[in-house]
Amino acid sequence: MRSVSVSFLSLNAWIVLLIAVLAFFVLYPIWLILLNSLYVETPEGMAFGFSIWREAFRQPGMADALINTIKVVATVQLISFPVAIAIAWVLARTDVPFARWIEFGFWASFLLPALATTTGWLLLLDPHYGLINRFLVDVGLFENSPFTLYSFWGIVFAHLVSNSISVKVMLLTPAFRNLNSTLEESSRICGANGYRAVMGIVLPLLTPVLLVTFLMSLIKGLEAFELELVLGAPIDFQVYSTKIYQVLRGSPPDYGTATVLAVAILLLMLPLVIFQQWATNRRSFVTVTGNHRQDAICLGSKRWPVFIVLAVLLSLTTVVPVIFQFAGSIMTLYGFFDLPQVWSLRHWVSAFEDRTFVGAFRNTLVLGSVTTTIGIILFAVIAYCSIHTRRSLRLSLDVLSWLPFMIPGVILGLSYLWFVLEVPVLTPLYGTMGVLVLVSLLAAVTLGVQLIRSAMLQLGADVEEAGRVVGGSWFRTFRSVLLPMISPTVAVVAIMIFAMTVRQVSTIVLLSTGSTTPLSVLQLEFLYGGALGPAAVVGTVVVIISLTAAAALVIIASRFRIGR
């Protein structure tokens, strides 16, 4: 693509500068943890060696933490993937009622914080006072509570009802929808029943998309932190990320072990990331056929039963936990229905009287809005530069904007802890909102740049060139032509960044201090400390913020027909 800048040289010089800055903020922190896991103190001074690694693996529970990590990720993905495929197929290809609304429901579910969902489900599945457990015991089906969220399967369940299924439904539904429906119909005509048509034709055709999604889910699954911390800690079930959190919370904090765990996980991820990149760059079959015709498959009499199954699944990930979290927030004692006064507003009252809560509320809004504002400008610039520069520079930009997506939140947080402490210029940032904004930007950069870039690419160079030809300056053209044309996408991206920032825990948990703690981390601390009532209040507030963002997303997306 041709550049429309005044001269190639000046634009490219700026891009090189941008790449250098990005590289510093993305690569250097990671380099630091790698360095610190190998840099050991010896009697003769600092030297490289493996003593930290040997030391770390001598600790109890290290191997378990790594094995548990793999166990949880594998189990969650193996269950959520087929379920998400089935849901996406039904939503995209059949005449199930209210398909669009259900799809939006899964978007909303994706935006709901995992901690909020878990808090809600705790009221139902807690081993002592969970409503479902108590009901099953009361009616005499079981002698003791059959379910508990504080277990391996409890953690798996919490993942399934929080984001694991919904994010895949979001990614796969458009893929199924874009597949030419006659390819499936022709296999029906040839004699395949519905199931065999999907298995024999649709899934093989979508293999590239499915593979990429699956690998990406595995990589993102390694991010898991807060659910394991809340549900695993009471039974001493550790994954690598909770182990990092634990060793850093000890006194003295064990930075050595934390960095070793982080590097070990990054090494484990490396083949996955390479495989995922290879799969992404392979040619996809789906684009080969033109002339798409979309005819929904008639479910006939199964139409409403299928709808009910979907609605139930969706409500398990949205309505049910949200309602029960709210219910928990207005109970005198979370989960106790036999007190003289079951309901009370005491948690809400004390929350709003509490400086910590009010501060956290303010922190959340500041963090969300500052990250969103800087993010949109920065991501638009990166996207613009990556379109308008030569191949070699574009490649570096793409890699740098994509890499942070692959780094698990806790590791990103850990690396930034080192980063701000070891780079003198940045040290004043420690303990401020500034460092939280920095990592939040990194956590959002991949998605933001991708979305804005594809919107810009769709416009093509000629609208911009036309703006220049009629006599506008570059800045004027950018402002009055380009920006308005991509503004619906920008609005969607802004809302997504905001919602992601508001609900994130793992990236900022190691970096937030007393005065900068946002609501999401506050909820984690309440849950970790067993204060379920206050946790439910905080969670409800975060949900309200997220749902407001989700509602805005739905309105903008349906008005501008994004994603269809």
Q: Residues interacting with another protein, by CB under 8 A?
A: 180, 182-183, 185-194, 196-197, 200-201, 204-205, 207, 285, 288-291, 293, 295, 298, 300
Residue 180 or 369: the one with the smaller Cβ distance to another protein is 180
Residue 208 or 256: the one with the smaller Cβ distance to another protein is 208
CB of 289 to another protein, least distance (A): 6
Q: What type of residue is 319?
A: V
CB of 370 to another protein, least distance (A): 47
Residue 191 or 252: the one with the smaller Cβ distance to another protein is 191
Closest CA to 406 of 279, 276, 219: 219
Spatial separation of the C-alpha atoms in residues 527 and 122, rounded to whole Å: 10
> Six-digit token pair at 528?
């970790």
Spatial separation of the C-alpha atoms in residues 290 and 219, rounded to whole Å: 33
Spatial separation of the C-alpha atoms in residues 61 and 220, rounded to whole Å: 23
Spatial separation of the C-alpha atoms in residues 403 and 446, rounded to whole Å: 8
In DSSP terms, 42 is beta-bridged to 45
Residue 285 or 528: the one with the smaller Cβ distance to another protein is 285
CB of 213 to another protein, least distance (A): 17
Asked whether 289 and 185 are in contact (CB, 8 A), the reply is: no
> Six-digit token pair at 502?
């508001």
CB of 561 to another protein, least distance (A): 21
- Please, where are the H alpha helices in 282-354? 303-317, 319-329, 346-353
End-to-end CA distance of the chain: 27
**What contacts 510, CB < 8 A, 6 or more positions away?**
244, 245, 248, 410, 413, 414, 416, 417
Asked whether 165 and 83 are in contact (CB, 8 A), the reply is: yes
CB of 178 to another protein, least distance (A): 13
Pairing of strands 39-42, 45-48: antiparallel
Residue 290 or 340: the one with the smaller Cβ distance to another protein is 290
Closest CA to 163 of 115, 215, 121, 97: 115
CB of 296 to another protein, least distance (A): 10
CB of 293 to another protein, least distance (A): 8
Closest CA to 237 of 160, 162, 149: 149
Spatial separation of the C-alpha atoms in residues 268 and 73, rounded to whole Å: 13
Rg (CA), the chain: 25
Residue 185 or 422: the one with the smaller Cβ distance to another protein is 185
Element (H, E) at 39: strand 39-42
Element (H, E) at 42: strand 39-42
Spatial separation of the C-alpha atoms in residues 30 and 263, rounded to whole Å: 9
CB of 78 to another protein, least distance (A): 24
Residue 57 or 285: the one with the smaller Cβ distance to another protein is 285
The residue length of the chain stands at 564
Residue 145 or 280: the one with the smaller Cβ distance to another protein is 280
CB of 202 to another protein, least distance (A): 10
User: Residue 527 burial by CB count (10 A; 0-12/13-18/19+): exposed, middle or buried?
Assistant: buried
Residue 204 or 460: the one with the smaller Cβ distance to another protein is 204
CB of 274 to another protein, least distance (A): 24
Residue 75 or 178: the one with the smaller Cβ distance to another protein is 178
CB of 104 to another protein, least distance (A): 23
**What contacts 152, CB < 8 A, 6 or more positions away?**
68, 71, 72, 75, 237
CB of 465 to another protein, least distance (A): 33
Where does 432-471 show beta strands of DSSP type E?
none
Residue 147 or 214: the one with the smaller Cβ distance to another protein is 214
Residue 67 or 203: the one with the smaller Cβ distance to another protein is 203
